[in-house]
């Protein structure tokens, strides 16, 4: 933090990012573990004087994942007057003895929440100054998080589930080629409920966002399922225009 100059950033403004990945049929979240307090937190940061929230979020995500062009959505603002009152980052700075600007980190912050959808296999997790570890955690593994970060995570998951009713999901979370059962498992994992196989397939295909390939999943049993890929033009059109329906 020796290169941190608070004059370069907006006062009282921060952002927190919920980074979702899908791996081994589990929805996972990228978390940081702080050096001294050992508390887990969402990746986040501050907004530079000449940045928009979106530009700041893209910068933070690139620093933590090594990725660019990430699907990113702002979903809520968190402004509880008490949310920053017990910030473990302050204690960590005191323990490290490396930064005298404790006043900056002790102030009240209003935070914009963003969620990102990324390809798990392409992420190279990198800790920030405050953390020793940057790791993927399955949703069911996550217990307490620092400050109000559990509330932020829950709100992001709620928003992601709502998105399934009017926008497609999968391009940023699945490999380039995938099976229909794998896509259905992604939806079921996000929604936390089972879906009828025939109804799911009929509905997904009606949106015309998939291309069925003339190849089957390798290493599978007899009559292994066919592979699909996303029809990017139709997928992006659905992201912009949306569609109706629920699960």
In the chain, domain spans: 6-146, 178-241
Residue 83: the pLDDT is 85
Residue 222: the pLDDT is 64
pLDDT digits (tens, 9 = 90+) for 208-224: 999 999 998 886 666 78
Check: pTM over 0.85? Answer yes or no.
yes
Question: Average pLDDT, whole number, for the chain?
Answer: 89
Residue 56: the pLDDT is 95
Q: Is the pLDDT of residue 4 over 90?
A: no
DSSP codes, the chain:
-TT--GGGEEEEEEEEEEEEEEETTEEEEEEEEESSS--EE--EEEEETT--HHHHHHHHHHHHH---S-EEEEEEEE--TTTTTT-HHHHHHHHHT----HHHHHS--EEEEEEEE--GGG------TTEEEEEEEEGGG----STTHHHHHHHHHHHHHHHTTTS---TTTS-SSEEHHHHHHHHHHHHTS---HHHHHHHHHHTT-EEEEEEE-TT--TTPPEEEEE-HHHHHHHHHH------
Fold match between 6-146 and 178-241? no
Residue scoring higher pLDDT (34 or 74): 74
Percentage of the residues of the chain whose pLDDT score is greater than 90? 62
Q: What is the CATH number of domain 6-146?
A: 3.90.79.10
Is there a contact between 64 and 134 (Cβ–Cβ < 8 Å)? yes
Choosing among 2.40.10.340, 1.10.10.10, 2.60.40.1180, 2.70.98.30, the CATH entry for 178-241 is 1.10.10.10
Residue 145: the pLDDT is 94
Of 4, 114, 126, 111, residue with least CA distance to 62? 126
Q: Which of 2-11, 119-128, 132-141, 203-212 has the lowest mean pLDDT?
A: 2-11
Q: Is the pLDDT of residue 191 over 80?
A: yes
Strands 178-179 and 226-230: antiparallel
| Average pLDDT rounded to a whole number, residues 34-55 | 92
Residue 166: the pLDDT is 87
Q: Is the pLDDT of residue 179 over 90?
A: yes
pLDDT digits (tens, 9 = 90+) for 75-103: 999 999 988 777 777 777 677 666 657 77
| Average pLDDT rounded to a whole number, residues 13-23 | 95
Residue 183: the pLDDT is 96
68 Cβ neighbours under 8 A, 6+ residues apart = 58, 62
Q: Is the pLDDT of residue 240 over 90?
A: no
pLDDT band at 177 (very low <50, low <70, confident <90, very high): very high
Strands 110-117 and 9-23: parallel
pLDDT digits (tens, 9 = 90+) for 109-134: 999 999 999 999 999 898 887 788 99
Residue scoring higher pLDDT (86 or 64): 64
Residue scoring higher pLDDT (219 or 8): 8
pLDDT band at 106 (very low <50, low <70, confident <90, very high): confident
């Amino acid at each position: 933090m020796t290169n941190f100059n608070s004059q370069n950033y907006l006062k009282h403004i921060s952002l927190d990012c919920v980074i979702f990945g899908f791996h081994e049929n589990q929805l996972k979240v990228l978390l940081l573990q702080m050096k001294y307090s050992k508390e887990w937190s969402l990746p986040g940061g501050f907004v530079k004087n000449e940045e928009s929230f979106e530009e700041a979020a893209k910068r933070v995500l690139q620093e933590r994942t090594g990725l660019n062009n990430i699907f990113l959505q702002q979903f809520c603002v968190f402004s509880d007057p008490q949310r920053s009152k017990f910030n473990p980052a302050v204690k960590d700075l005191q323990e490290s003895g490396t930064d005298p600007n404790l006043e900056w980190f002790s102030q009240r912050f209003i935070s914009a929440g963003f969620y990102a959808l990324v390809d798990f296999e392409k992420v190279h997790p990198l800790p920030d100054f405050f953390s020793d570890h940057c790791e993927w955690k399955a949703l069911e593994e996550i217990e307490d998080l620092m400050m109000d970060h559990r509330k932020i995570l829950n709100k992001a998951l709620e928003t992601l589930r709502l998105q399934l009713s009017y926008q497609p999901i999968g391009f940023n979370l699945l490999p380039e080629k995938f099976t229909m059962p794998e896509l259905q498992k992604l939806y079921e994992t996000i929604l936390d409920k089972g879906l009828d196989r025939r109804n799911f397939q009929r509905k997904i295909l009606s949106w015309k966002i998939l291309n069925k390939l003339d190849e089957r999943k390798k290493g599978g049993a007899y009559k292994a399922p066919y592979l699909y890929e996303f029809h990017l033009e139709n997928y992006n059109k659905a992201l912009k225009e949306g569609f109706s329906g629920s699960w």
